[in-house]
Structure formats: C-alpha cells, structure tokens
Structure 1
C-alpha cells in the first residue's frame, strides 16, 4: 500500500456529493421529497392496518412491520445525507460510521426475514386455506416477527465488530453517500481478505436461504393456483400475493447483486454506488406504492379512511 499515510483516521470524508452549490440544492430537494414520500407512504400503511378492522389479519400485520422497518431503515441513512448535502463539511466520525453501517445491515436483514415470513404466510393462506387460521395464529405471527428482528439485529454483529477493530488510513475518502462495507474495507490499512470472504459467505447464506424459502413457497403457491379451474379464480388468488412477489423480486435481486458478489468483481464503484442508492433509497419508496396500488383491500381501506376523514371534516365545519 505504497503512497498511503499509515496514520489511523478517526473520521471519513464523503466525496459522492455534488460540488456545485446549485446541484447540492437540487440533490437536497430531491432527496428530501423522496424521504417525505417514503415516510408518509409507509406510515400510511401502518396507520391503515391499525385502524381498519378488515386489515386485522396476519398478512397485513406482517406488512405493517415491514413498513415500520423501512421507516427506520431510510432514517438510518437519509437524514445524515440531507445534512451532508448542504454542508461544507462532508465528514462523518468513525463511531457514527460504524453505527450507521450496523443499522443499515441489521434493518436490511430484518426486512429480508419479514419478506420470507410473508411468503410463508401466503403459502399457508393459499395451499392450506382450511387450516390457515389454526396455524397462523396471532401468537405464531408475533413469534415469527420477533425472530425476524432478533435474527436481523444479531446477524451483522460479528462482521461490524470485526470492521470496527480494523485500522483505517489516509486518504480517508469514501466514494459513497453513506457508510457501506465495500468502501470501508477499501480504506483499511490491514489485510481484509479474510473478512471479505467471511462476509461474502455470511451474506450468501442469508440471502440464498431466504430466496430458496421464497422460491419453494411460491412453487407450491403456483401449483395450487394452476389447479383452480376458473381463470377468474386463478387471477383473484394470485392477486393476493402479486404485490409481495414484485417487492421480493426487486429486493432480493438488488441485494444479491450488491452483497452476493466477490469484492474482486466490484470494479466499478460508480455503478455499485448507483445500485446502493437504488436499494437504500428508491426501493423503500417503491414498496409501499406497490402494496397500495396493486392491493385491492389496501385501496379500499384507504378510500374508507378518506371518506371518514371527509365526513368528520364536514361535520366539524357544519357544527
């Protein structure tokens, strides 16, 4: 590592942000709009599931928890990005960077686990409809969600603790919008080949296990749907899991591309940077929109909520 100052750094400098003031303003406004829309759309789902009796079932309970994780997930990165966008000082402390890295991974893994549980729920609902309510009780649903949070927050502990013990040298420049593992490992003064292999293995195990579970679940689901005699019945049954399948494809496809490749194959940091932004910022915005626009029950619940609000406003004004 010739030409690198071996002095250990206690902070990092982000260089991915625009340098021109006009572009910084545009970037800030665009990012703020995405963040507000993401919060509002996910909180809207949580609110509807809470107040609408027709949505009081395991499917929507899982969806509300998924939306809650998405709220915290985007809040881990975007507020700091907004602060840096208009700041001359584009630095983040070593401790803050490690904390951000941990929550990005823990909340990401938690979301993966909840998506897997949602696939299991759809499998039971479609393939075992008569036993569904007996199996997918509120107790089991709560236990699965608790395991998802527990697994999500325990999974990255070893990798992040290992990274936190590495030495990072000058130049302490991260070509990214937030703290991610690949740019951090690139800055380390010490040999990181072992941790790269360990992280790759851990990531592949987690991602592939989730993907396999989802694929097996949907194989049984599609088999059950194909046995339905009428085309209308097949379409109606498949519509109950179409939104979830769309989100799973977006989520796992991007995740596998980001963290399921060896470090040696990640030659273009600009491209990887774009994929990271899509995964961490755009997908959390798309998820609630997909569930809201493609799900008939969600649209009806939203319509009823707006009707109640309009009626209440009319009564207040009349009074």
Structure 2
C-alpha cells in the first residue's frame, strides 16, 4: 500500500519534461525577482528566523507522522494511509517554496531563474491540487467507516485506496503541467518583479506582456472543477455522516462516531478556510505585501499545524509516536 516512491518519482519525470522543452519566451527573460513579504531590511532576520522555524516544524512534524504510520502495523489502514500521504504532500509543498525564500533572504539576492520559477509553479499547483484530492478521499473514508461499517473493509480495500491516490496524483500533475506549459508561451517584458515570496501562477500572469485571457479562463474553469468536485464530495460525505450519527441511540456512540472525524474536519476547515479567505480578500487588497503575507495562511500555516491536529486528537497516533520516539532514542 506504500506508494510514496511513485509520488516522488512522477513529479520529477514531469518537471524533467518541462525543462527539456524549448521555451517560447521571446524576450529571453532569464530570471524573475521575488519581492517577498517585506522590503524592510531590519525585518529580514526576523522573517528568516520565523520561516526557518516554521519549515523545520513542518518537516519534522509531518515526517514523524509518515514514519509512525510506516513502522506501526496497527496504523496500516486506509485512514492513516491517506494521512501519511497528506503529511508527505505538506512536506513537499513547503519544500517547494520556503527554502528558496530563505536562501534569497540570506544572500540578499531575490532573483529566481526562469526555469526555477516554472518549476515552482508546477510543484505548488500540483501539490495544492493533490492535497485537495486527499482531503476528499479522507472524507469518503470516514463516510464508508461510519455509514457502512460492515462493508468498510470491502469498500476501502488496498487496491481502491492506492487507485485513489494514483488517480489524484495523475490529475494534479496533469493540471500543473498544463498550466506550466501555458506559461512557457507567454512573453515577458522588462518588469519581472513578482510581489510574492514564491512564483505564484496568478502573479506571474500579472507581469506578462502578452495576452493572458486564455490562461485566466483555464485557471477559473479547471480550478473550479478540481476544487468543486472534492469540496462537493466532502460536503456529501459529512452530510451522510451527520444523518447516520443522528440515528445512533446512545450519546456515547454519537461521540465516538464524531470523534473519528474531528481531526479531519479541523484540517478541512483550516485548509479551505485560509484558502478561500485569501481568495476572496485579495480583490479588495491593494497592497501586494498584504497579499503575499496572506498567502502564508494557506501555503505554510496549515502544513505546519496538521501534524499537531492529528497527534493531539488521535490516541493511536499518540501511542505510535511515543513508540517511534522511544526507538529513536534507543538508537541514538
């Protein structure tokens, strides 16, 4: 059931395909400049320290979840299989953006190469979509466990779970690859400053000289579909879960059923709440710096908090983490 090596391999194959394409950037732009969150030099050490801590916490916390699920056979079930993939995605998404930002601050050089920018667009788009799909798969898993407990092992079998992950990864990669290839056909002029700490797709489109009408249409149409279907699936799953739980006669049974969904619901509200908040507030925000700071709320903060949500609310994860930390301590 562990297909982490496929998740690592496939994006690298796609990005190699991007790098081997002869781009049509007719203005021969070789680099962009990431303006970051603030241009105040006195704040740079604070920003560097803050993001370094957040990145280390994100990687360490999510890595512990992945290791705990991998080495504890009691956690080899669909719910924790999806959780380990979510943690791996959180590590990958943070690694795509934060290390480059830290290097730029440390070297006081805010440039990023043209290919590096395309790579960031590909990976951030891919992993954001992949996380979206995983959250929907986790909601369906909870629906099957609560609404169809007798058929749960049949519905959520190993083959079906692996197929969900591979299909989600394929769709996410195809979407990211399509957007990245469309960027390659744009023309850029002298102004190559991006008011972000990473190459965000919409911000790169804003500085293009050529027409981006088709790009924007594709973003809204494809984005609406890829976001709408998982969100609809999550709403459907939890609607059915609520009706099923309300039919349980005992208060203890209701609490037990709802408690299995608490961690996932917290992550769903955190991910979609921050994303939608930034999306709806950005048209009313005139300051690019505020927009860049707001992006942290959906691209950095949820990925850091997710391990704490599961480790604090889930007894099985707590027990497994204690065993893992004990083994690591003995090994050291």
Question: TM-score, normalising length from structure 2?
Answer: 0.86
SS at 1:79's partner residue?
helix
Partner of 1:199: 219
Residues 213, 190 of structure 1: alpha-carbon distance in 2 compared, 3 angstrom cutoff: same
Unpaired segments ≥5 residues, structure 2: 1-25
Q: CA-to-partner distance for each residue in 1:241-290, whole Å, 9 max, x for gaps?
A: 1111111112123334455x699666553333222111111110011111
Partner of 1:294: 313
Query: What's the offset of the Cα at 1:59?
Result: 0.4
User: Of residues 157, 160, 163 in structure 2, which corresponds to 1:140?
Assistant: 160
Unpaired segments ≥5 residues, structure 1: 1-5
Q: CA-to-partner distance for each residue in 1:108-155, whole Å, 9 max, x for gaps?
A: 111111111111111100000000011211111111111111111111
Partner of 2:299: 280
Q: How does 1:172-183 map to 2 (within 5 A)?
A: 172-183=192-203
**Structure-2 separation of matches of 1:72 and 1:308:** 26
* 1:270 lines up with 2:297 in the alignment: no
Q: CA RMSD in A?
A: 2.2
Instruction: Name the count of aligned residue pairs.
Output: 307
Query: What's the offset of the Cα at 1:307?
Result: 4.7
User: Of residues 179, 187, 197 in structure 1, which corresponds to 2:207?
Assistant: 187
Instruction: Answer yes or no: is the 8 Å Cα contact 1:8–1:170 preserved in 2.
Output: no
**Structure-1 separation of matches of 2:51 and 2:284:** 29
SS at 1:167's partner residue?
coil
Residues 56, 168 of structure 1: alpha-carbon distance in 2 compared, 3 angstrom cutoff: same
Query: What's the offset of the Cα at 1:43?
Result: 0.4
Q: CA-to-partner distance for each residue in 1:168-222, whole Å, 9 max, x for gaps?
A: 1122111110000222111111121232122111111111111001000000011
SS at 2:112's partner residue?
strand
**Structure-2 separation of matches of 1:117 and 1:71:** 19
Query: What's the offset of the Cα at 1:88?
Result: 2.3
Query: What's the offset of the Cα at 1:93?
Result: 1.1
Partner of 1:14: 34
SS at 1:191's partner residue?
coil
* 1:159 lines up with 2:179 in the alignment: yes
SS at 1:170's partner residue?
coil
* More displaced stretch, 77-86 vs 194-203: 194-203
SS at 2:270's partner residue?
helix
Query: What's the offset of the Cα at 1:235?
Result: 1.0
Larger Rg: 1
Instruction: Answer yes or no: is the 8 Å Cα contact 2:275–2:297 preserved in 1.
Output: no
Residues 250, 175 of structure 1: alpha-carbon distance in 2 compared, 3 angstrom cutoff: same
SS at 1:92's partner residue?
strand
* More displaced stretch, 188-197 vs 105-114: 188-197
SS at 2:108's partner residue?
coil
Question: TM-score, normalising length from structure 1?
Answer: 0.90
Partner of 1:90: 110
Partner of 1:108: 128
